[in-house]
Amino acid sequence: MPDTPKPIAELADACVKCGLCLPYCPTYSLDGVETESPRGRIALARHATDGSLAPSPGLRRHLDHCLGCMACQRVCPVPVHYGELLKAFRAELPPAAPRPRRLLRMLTSPAWLRLGAGLTRWTAARHWLPPLARALPRTSALRAAISLLAALPRPARRTVAAESLNVPTRGRVALFGGCVQGVFERDAQEAAARLLAAAGCAVVRLEGFCCGALAAHTGDAADAEAKARRVREAFAACGVDTLLTATPGCLGTLREALPGARVEDAMAFLDAHGQSLRFRPLERRAVLHLPCTQVNVARADGAVRRLLGRVPGLELDVLPTPGMCCGAAGSHMLEFPERATSLRERTLACMPLPMPDLMLTANIGCRLHLAAGLLERGVRVAIEHPLSLLARQWAP
């Protein structure tokens, strides 16, 4: 069972108000006001808790603007458990504006996602729907969702049973499939399973359900706990002690759901245990986008670079925005599309010139958000998960 959460006041009182977090906060960088910073949000939580500040839609809006990138928590000298505080405080207050609940519910259901993807292909909606959606307000979640259609990869089918590729020498590990990535980035899941098997692991797949990250991010504590309970049940049933995920955005939530288990980024695990893996040369130029959760939560940015550095001939540039969120941030790109677009433009402004052959990023939300931005600029760059490239270049 997860640890008992600390009271909001206790979490807030840990902050010494040093301000070291401010240069690392993307929303503070965007707005330049204290209430859009980690220190400001902690102060709001403390005053709302002791009754000196009445809860209001404006107060909650500052919380909702937070991307949950955890850059502040990484650099905090105390450290303040900011993620835990944010989650608890959001659960205490109603949202500042009505949420697109049906849309968010669909995003966490693989069955609904597959149905939606099928309808999109059958009706060719990615071609005719986006122009119509431009008639909607720029703040519309539906408009933001439709803008992602052109960037949406085709759902891939499960291919070879990766578990049978090698005789396991490192024991069994579980691989979490997730919701959006489990449907639209199936190739990354297959790649992870294939490489893990090649590294000597027997792979157990946990698929077809959501980790609860999106529910926790929006303050729906009951739904988040229900999803966490399903994660615990599925993990307990598979009889392993290590859970891996190819989606960094799921990692923190999975660790909270399974505090006694070993929960790691799949690429960090492969970097540590896949020394025997060899890769074929690839004479291409790629730019690597490091999702903030991979930098600040998984702490796997070095592992990603090392693994990709083992592909001979691959010229790799890294977007110089480590830990600075691109604006996708779970549901943020749907609920606050104008703010998300501003953050995305800052990220894309760092793209190297001339444009690379492909972009690599490990988070499906970042992939869709950045791809939509590139298409708006008229730039067509293939985007894929680093594991997909590694599995393709793997030399058995």
Q: Which of 92, 113, 130 is the last residue of a domain?
A: 92
Q: What pLDDT score does 102 carry?
A: 79
Q: What pLDDT score does 284 carry?
A: 95
Q: What pLDDT score does 96 carry?
A: 62
User: Which tokens sit at 181?
Assistant: 């990535």
Q: What pLDDT score does 288 carry?
A: 96
100 φ, ψ (degrees, to nearest 5): -75, 70
Question: Is residue 379 included in any domain, yes or no?
Answer: yes
Task: Supply the Cα-derived Rg of the chain in whole angstroms.
Answer: 21
pLDDT in 10s for each residue of the chain, 396 residues: 445 456 888 899 999 999 999 999 999 999 999 999 999 999 998 888 888 887 777 788 898 899 999 999 999 999 899 988 988 888 887 766 677 777 777 778 888 888 887 888 888 887 788 888 888 888 888 888 888 887 877 655 555 444 444 556 678 999 999 888 888 888 999 999 999 999 999 999 999 889 988 888 877 888 889 999 999 999 999 999 999 999 999 999 999 999 989 999 999 999 999 999 999 999 999 999 999 999 999 999 999 999 999 999 999 999 987 557 999 998 899 989 999 999 999 999 999 989 999 999 999 999 999 999 998 888 889 999 999 999 999 998
DSSP string, 29-53: HHH--GGGSHHHHHHHHHHHHHTSS
H or E element, residue 333: helix 332-335
Residues 133, 67, 232: CA angle, nearest 5 degrees: 100
CB 223 within 8 Å of CB 215: yes
Q: What is the CATH number of the domain that holds 15?
A: 1.10.1060.10
Q: What pLDDT score does 60 carry?
A: 83
Q: What pLDDT score does 134 carry?
A: 82
Question: Is residue 59 included in any domain, yes or no?
Answer: yes
Residue 24 has what DSSP assignment? G
Question: Is residue 243 included in any domain, yes or no?
Answer: no
Query: Strands 262-265, 358-360: parallel, antiparallel or unpaired by DSSP?
Result: unpaired
Give how many domains the chain has, as a whole number.
2
Residue 162 has what DSSP assignment? G
Question: Is residue 70 included in any domain, yes or no?
Answer: yes
CA distance 46 to 315: 48
Question: Is residue 208 included in any domain, yes or no?
Answer: no
Q: What is the CATH number of the domain that holds 367?
A: 3.40.50
Q: What pLDDT score does 167 carry?
A: 55
Task: Domain of residue 67: give its range.
Answer: 8-92
Question: Is residue 248 included in any domain, yes or no?
Answer: no
Q: What pLDDT score does 135 carry?
A: 82
Question: Is residue 48 included in any domain, yes or no?
Answer: yes
Nearest alpha carbon to residue 227 among 104, 378, 143: 104
Q: How many residues make up the chain in this entry? A: 396
Question: Is residue 309 included in any domain, yes or no?
Answer: yes
Output the pTM of the full model: 0.89
Q: What pLDDT score does 160 carry?
A: 46
Q: What pLDDT score does 236 carry?
A: 94
Q: Which of 36, 64, 92 is the last residue of a domain?
A: 92
Q: What pLDDT score does 164 carry?
A: 44
Percent helix, strand and coil across the chain, each to the nearest 5: 55, 10, 40
Q: Which of 25, 59, 92 is the last residue of a domain?
A: 92
Coil, helix or strand for 176?
strand
Q: What pLDDT score does 157 carry?
A: 57
